[in-house]
A and B are shown apart, each in its own frame.
Chain A
Amino acid sequence: MHEFGVTKSLVDLCNQEAKKNRIEKVHKIHLRVGRFTGFSPDSIQFYFEHLKVNTRCSAAYIVFEEVPIKILCNDCQKISEIEEPVLLCPNCGSDEIDLISGREFSVTSIEGE
């Protein structure tokens, strides 16, 4: 349900950037979504179809780039990609972990004319 609000922010951000760069019609939006966010690409897509109407994004589609969860172990210094957000080092079992990716939710670029 909370994807409605964030998709509204997405459309607003893309419209602002399009206006600033004199793009009348946005064709593609490149969106990075980390696996450690609560945002589902399917729901974003669903709301986007409604929210883009009558904006510079009305003909646009979203290209999703999913970002894996990566952690850095401060004990063995190994960087690991993990499937589930369980913050234990798969190499040495340490919990001295820093999250280095997976929380992204950003527009990397837009394409249009």
Chain B
Amino acid sequence: MKKIKVLKPVLVSNQQRAKENRSMFDRMNSLVINIIASPGAGKTSFIKNLITGLKGSHKILVIEGDIKGQIDSESISRLGVDVIQINTATECHLDAFMTAQVLPKIKKNYDLILVENIGNLVCPAEFDIGEDFKLAILSTPEGDDKPLKYPLLFHLARVTVINKCDLLPYVDFRPDIARKNIKRENPRAVIFEVSSKTEQGFEEVFRFVSKEINARQKKDKH
């Protein structure tokens, strides 16, 4: 009987692939945001608002992850930006390999690549795809306790967007408690309160993302 030391993370191959993706994104000079939320939290409408606000000043690509279909891709491409669809069939998240498969389809340089992950608060958090940062969306009807119930995502997300704030008069969601709960998982989280429906709060998000894009491009020049 032999005992062999392995000492390797199980997801070592995903991590290696994510690293390769990251250097490819670096070479393309693109800021990559991995957008994660539950189904119906408003990932697609958030992305559409970002596109509307930023497409005048930045070149944007959307990588759209869905289990099936291309409803979201179609509605996003109507805004005049490029979209690449990934259908995962059975997988409940995007991983570095699925992302790597579509990279050869990227023919131009983009300032910003928005990746819409599969609607799920659990699995997508575990898989690095090579992004610059994760952005979580929490919508008000879901409840202000979700960061405590799905701690890993809110711990890893550098940015959390509280969406559907126009519904605050109708739902039992306390923004101050939600902020406190997000900060309990990630004291350094950047938090925005928006409504994709009324566009309230988006100016701040545009400023933040533009600043990140500029910082990224400056970094690459050095």
Contacts and interface: CB of A to CB of B under 8 A. Distances in A.
Chain B interface mostly helix, strand, loop or mixed? mixed
Contacts of B91: 2, 5
A95 B152 CA distance: 16
Interface string A23-50: 1000100010000111100000000000
A39 B126 contact: yes
B3 interface: yes
A19 to B, nearest CB: 11
B92 A2 contact: yes
A113 B1 contact: yes
Contacts, number: 99
Contacts of A85: 151-152, 155, 185
A112 B126 contact: no
Interface residues of B, number: 31
B89 interface: no
A6 B10 contact: yes
A105 B9 contact: yes
Given A87-B155, A87-B186, A109-B5, A9 B123 contact: no
Contacts of A18: 4
Contacts of A6: 10-11, 126
Contacts of B4: 17-18, 21, 23, 109-111
B146 to A, nearest CB: 14
A57 to B, nearest CB: 13
Nearest to B121: A38
Contacts of A109: 3-7
Interface in B1-36: 1-14
Nearest to A8: B10
Interface string A74-113: 0000000000111110000001110100001111111111
25 contacts: A2-B91, A2-B122, A2-B123, A5-B91, A13-B8, A14-B6, A36-B155, A37-B152, A84-B151, A85-B151, A86-B185, A87-B155, A87-B186, A97-B187, A105-B9, A106-B6, A107-B7, A107-B8, A109-B3, A109-B4, A109-B5, A109-B6, A109-B7, A110-B4, A111-B4
Which 4 interchain pairs have the tightest Cβ spacing? Answer: A2-B123, A95-B187, A85-B151, A107-B6
Interface of B: 1-14, 91-93, 95, 122-123, 125-126, 148, 151-152, 155, 183-187
